[in-house]
Amino acid sequence: MLREMYDGKIDPWQRHNRCSAEQLKLVRKIADEEKYFEDKLTPDDFGRLQALFTMYSEVSEMDECEIYAYGFSVGLLIMQDVISVAKTILPDRCQHK
């Protein structure tokens, strides 16, 4: 990963487009299905279905937060290893003065 960053293949400041064509297609399909159920269900039942979707979204967001925190922690552990290796390779540059 460090080599890829050095070679310019990874830019830590650049975010990838989160909405691919495949994702947009799926979002449209979800909206169509939601409309279908809105037309078929009673207002109360449809409200419960929407509440269910909201709960799914909340659980998904919690999972994503945990995954982000885990990834960040792994990144810090990688940096600790990099610093440890740097101390053995470049001891003169890694001394605190």
pLDDT in tens, the chain (97 residues): 667 777 777 776 666 666 788 989 999 999 999 999 999 999 999 999 999 999 999 999 999 888 988 988 889 999 988 988 888 888 777 665 5
Write down the pLDDT at residue 16: 62
Of residues 25, 29, 30, the one with CA closest to residue 53: 30
Query: Can you spell out the DSSP letters for 55-93?
Result: HHHHHHHHHHHHHHHHHHHHHHHHHHHHHHHHHHH-TTT
Write down the pLDDT at residue 10: 73
Write down the pLDDT at residue 89: 84
Write down the pLDDT at residue 3: 74
A 10 A CB-CB count for 50 gives 13
Of residues 14, 15, 31, the one with CA closest to residue 23: 31
Write down the pLDDT at residue 2: 67
Write down the pLDDT at residue 17: 61
Rg from Cα positions in the chain:
23
Q: Please report, for the chain, the start and end positions of each structural domain, with discontinuous segments joined by +.
A: 20-89
Question: For the whole prediction, is pTM greater than 0.95?
Answer: no
